[in-house]
Amino acid sequence: MCLLAIQYRLVPEAPILVAANREELYNRPSQVPSIQSGKPRVLSGLDLQAGGTWLGVNQHGLFVAVCNRPKLTPVPAPRSRGGLCREMLRAGSARKAMDMAMDELSTGRYEGCNYVAVDVESGWAIHAGDEVEAVEIREGLSVLSSMDLNDPRDERGRMARRLLTLQTLDSPVKFLAVASKVFARSPSPPGRPSMVIRGSEKGTVSSTLLALGKKPRDAIYQFAAGAPDETKYEDYSPLLRDILSRGLREARTKAKA
C-alpha cells in the first residue's frame, strides 16, 4: 500500500498540494522522476518491472497516483495498475482520467487499487476493491491509502490528517515543510500506525512532495529515492516547470488558432 495526502483548493496560489509515500518490495527496480516520451509530456517515476508508474503530473497540470488495496476476489493474469496510472496521465483533464479509470477498472482485470486524478477543475478518487466507485475530492485535506478516501477506519490516514492539521498550512512552503516532516516520521512501535514503514522485504521506498500553482514557475516537485527518514528530498521542480510551460504555450497557440 501507499499513503497519499492532498490539500485541495485551500491555498489560492497552489490549489493542489500533495505528499505521498510509496510502499513496495525493496528489490523491485524503479527509476527516479523523468520526462516521459510522447504527448502530452508527463513527469513521473517509472516502475522498471512492469513499465508503469505510481504517481505523475502531465503538462496540463493533471496529477494522477495509485495506491494498492485489498481485494477478496482473485484476478487471473491481472493488468498492471501502474500501467493504468500511466495511461491516465495521457488524459487532458481529471474528469477524463476518471472516466478512463472507471471504464478499465469495471472490467475486473485489475487487482485491488485506489486512484486519484486531480487538476484545478476537479478531483476524483476511484476506489476499486471488490466494487468500483468514483468519489469527488472536495475542498480541504483528503488522505488515501489502502481503504476509501478519508476512511475513518484507517488509523494511518487519521494519524497523517492529525499531524497535517496541527497548524494552518496556508502556503505551499508551509505545507511542504510540515508534510516533509510528517511523511518522514520514523517507524512507530508495533501495533501503532506509522508514516514510514520498514519491513524485512517491503516498506517505504520513496516519497514525493508536490505543489501545483496557477503559474508554471511556482510549481514544486521534490522526490526522495528512499524512505524519507533516511533519504533527502531532491528537487525536480525545473522538469515540472518545463512541461507545464510547454503545456501553457501549446494551449495558447491552440486558442489563437
Q: What pLDDT is stored for residue 214 in this prediction?
A: 86
Q: What pLDDT is stored for residue 216 in this prediction?
A: 96
What is d(CA 38, CA 165) in angstroms, rounded to the nearest whole number? 39
The pair phi, psi for residue 224, each rounded to 5°, is -105, 120
Q: What pLDDT is stored for residue 188 in this prediction?
A: 80
Nearest to 169 by CA among 3, 18, 2, 4: 18
Stated length of the chain: 257
Domains and CATH numbers, the chain: 3-256 (3.60.60.10)
Q: Report if pTM > 0.85.
A: yes
What are the CA-CA distances from residue 92 to residues 40, 59, 97, 250 (Å)?
8, 9, 8, 13
The pair phi, psi for residue 158, each rounded to 5°, is -65, -40
Q: What pLDDT is stored for residue 93 in this prediction?
A: 98
Query: Please, are residues 165 and 143 in contact by the beta-carbon 8 Å criterion?
Result: no
Q: What pLDDT is stored for residue 254 in this prediction?
A: 84
Q: What pLDDT is stored for residue 175 in this prediction?
A: 98
Q: What pLDDT is stored for residue 192 in this prediction?
A: 82
Q: What pLDDT is stored for residue 146 in this prediction?
A: 96
Nearest to 100 by CA among 121, 122, 85: 85
Residues 6+ apart with CB under 8 A from 26: 201, 202, 203, 205
Regions in the chain scoring below 70 on pLDDT: 1
Count of CB atoms within 10 A of residue 13's CB? 11
